[in-house]
Amino acid sequence: MRFCRRLSAVSALAVLLGFSVVAGAQQANRFDDYEIHYSAMPTGMLNDQIAESYGILRSRTRGMVMVTVLRDGEPVTARVDILARDVDEDITEIGARRVRDSGWVSYVGTFPVEEGEALTFEITVNPHAGGGPYEMAFRQTFYASE
């Protein structure tokens, strides 16, 4: 039952931002009492109204990474640091800003991206409620058709 509630909450945020959980290739890692969900996609996939309300430029040449931290199925605040590493090992620091809506908290950062570019995201999460730091990494290739 707790898993269904968590999945429902994360799905609700995905709908809020205008994309499906599947399209966002959402992933999650569990650390102690925390579950950290993360995904990346081109910002062109966002719904026009949502992109405007959060000040995100919709574009095939912009990417977005989103991180949500849950504790017992409820969103919590955290310090979220995100780095993107390209195939040449060049590193870009992605500023993650807190997005709140109807009691939900996520962290969103945008960055430039090229067609077919593969980036490895390195995420460090320090929940304000204690614990951590928790580190994870994932790789995403960006295509204009996404």
pLDDT at 28: 93
pLDDT at 22 over 90: no
Tell me the three state secondary structure of residue 43: helix
Cα gap 146→139, rounded to integer Å = 16
pLDDT at 26: 65
- Greatest mean pLDDT among 2-11, 64-73, 94-103 lies in 64-73
pLDDT tens across 36-58, in order? 999 999 999 889 988 888 889 99
Domains of the chain: 2-141 (2.60.40.3340)
Cα gap 66→10, rounded to integer Å = 11
